[in-house]
Amino acid sequence: MHLAVVHHSAGTETLCRAQVVRSTSTLERSLHSPDEDRVHLHWKVDLAEALDVRSTAAFTFHGVRPDGRSTWEPRGSAAARGATTELASNRGHFYVWAPKVGSLKRDATWKPWPAYAKYSINNI
């Protein structure tokens, strides 16, 4: 699977393609929306190489920009680096994959549960 992103900069467009190594997604009801049919999607991906994108503008869908935060290790005070990157990424996948009130559909391109076995809801 590949992720294709059109990056706009200084009047030019560049198509970036990145190989998706692992992908976890869930479709959920938007429980706090006045529209009872509203849903939202969580999608966590690990890419083979980092994208050099400093904005979420390239990922805009129907005028909505995604929440594209860096992967953080909660026990530290900075973005995950080195040895903490895999731990932080697994926590992100766990958050997306874990059953929640309003979950409609979950999917993963890998078997997430062995990596999640050491986590509990209290440790997220």
Mean pLDDT by 10 residues, the chain (124 residues): 63 70 91 92 84 73 77 61 74 84 90 59 48
Which two three-digit tokens encode residue 37?
A: 């049919």
The pLDDT value given to residue 71: 64
The pLDDT value given to residue 35: 93
The three-state secondary structure class of 93 is helix
| Residue 64 vs residues 30, 32, 37, 50, 67: alpha-carbon distances, Å | 15, 18, 18, 23, 10
Which class for 50: exposed (0-12), middle (13-18), buried (19 or more C-beta within 10 A)? exposed
The pLDDT value given to residue 32: 92
